[in-house]
Amino acid sequence: MSNKSLKYFFGRAKKEKWAIGQFNFSTLEQLKAIVSAAKKLKSPVILGTSQGEANFFGLEEATLLRDLYRKKFPYIYLNLDHGKDIDLIKKAIDLGYDCVHFDGSGLDFQENLKITKKIVKYAHKKGCLVEGEIKSIQGSSEIHKELPKEVLLEDIEKAKEFVKKTGIDSLAVNIGNLHGVYTKSIRLKIDHLQKIKKAIPIFLVLHGGSGTSKKDIKETIKNGVVKINVNTELRIAWRETLEKILRKHRGTVKPYNILPKVISAIEKVVTTKINLFNP
Ligand code: G3H
Ligand code: ZN
């Protein structure tokens, strides 16, 4: 077990103005790459599993491997990302996830508030943090051609009420951020983040870390973001490297001759992000 909690690092990050990266994984190669980068840089890191990723990899496998890797580097944490299935969320909490993100953004505001509050009660009893989401963060962790038609911004009054009544530890904010990588670049609404920061005392989380400019990332950290989620860029490195090597070595059937290069490519992405978030 790690002797410093995730909450401890969130608190330090807020005070010292840096952010912890959450990197999603669904394969052992991705997991090895994330852990290796964190260990080399001596930086705390969050391993993220979305519902799809958790169902594929296994919640139990994820917690067991987190515990195993913690023996080599202690500051490795697990978050259930965009959890919508209450049973899966409870299972993750029971297994010892450090944090769960309940994504009730598809629900009516009052319903989201009610369920989030119940999850907070359940999670806090077991020392697990809870991240909330009010307005859905658009897009998905893939490559997209078209940008969404409208930019969604957090409703500050609703967010204040939600935070106060649910007791969540962190909030996934909407400041024009999108999931995935787009052919056109987007700019984040930093002025809106400043308003959120002023109104809300809890930890702020930026989703959609892929494809966001270094300048915008730096600005979000300066203005209170303590956790940044990255997925698509890791997935792209995984696919492109795997395709390239398989094409180059058509005859080979030995995974251990192919996969180290995939791990290195993903590790490079994670290293660049950690250096940006936590210089
Ligand atoms: O919850 C996961 C993240 O928000 C990932 O976003 O795929 O744009 O990096 P991304
Ligand atoms: Zn997300």
Q: Which of 81, 98, 103, 216 is catalytic?
A: 81
Beta strand extents in the chain (DSSP E only): 20-24, 45-50, 76-83, 99-103, 129-133, 139-144, 170-172, 179-182, 203-206, 225-230
Backbone angles phi, psi at 181, to 5 degrees: -115, 140
Residues contacting ligand 1 via CB (< 6 Å) = 24, 81-82, 141, 179-180, 207-210, 229-232
> Active site includes 81?
yes
Q: Taking each helix axis from N to C terminus, what angle separates 59-70 and 86-95, rounded to the nearest 10 degrees? A: 30
147-160 tens-digit pLDDT: 999 889 999 999 99
Of the two residues 279 and 45, the one the predictor is more confident about is 45
Side-chain-side CA neighbours of residue 223 (13 Å) = 21
Q: What is the CA radius of gyration of the chain?
A: 18
| pTM beyond 0.75 | yes
One-letter amino acid for residue 226 of the chain: V
Report yes or no: 203 and 227 within 8 Å, Cβ to Cβ.
yes
pLDDT of residue 177 exceeding 60: yes
What are 238's two structure tokens?
């995984």
pLDDT at 157: 98
Q: What is the DSSP letter of 126?
A: T
Contacts of 171 (CB under 8 A, 6+ apart): 131, 132, 133, 134, 159, 162, 163, 196, 200, 202, 203, 204, 205
75-95 tens-digit pLDDT: 999 999 999 999 999 999 999
Q: Any idea which residue has 């912890």 for tokens?
A: 20
Tell me, rounded to whole angstroms, the distance of Cα 97 from its chain centroid: 13
Report yes or no: 1 and 31 within 8 Å, Cβ to Cβ.
no
CATH 3.20.20.70 fits 6-277, yes or no: yes
pLDDT of residue 1 exceeding 60: no
One-letter amino acid for residue 127 of the chain: G
| CA proximity to 212, closest of 197, 190, 245, 195 | 190
Best of 141, 185, 186, 233 for a ligand 1 pocket test (most atoms within 8 Å of beta carbon)? 141
pLDDT at 2: 60
Question: What does pLDDT average to over the chain?
Answer: 97
CA 248 / ligand 2 centre spacing (Å): 34
CA 250 / ligand 2 centre spacing (Å): 36
| Residues 273, 254: Cα–Cα separation, whole Å | 31
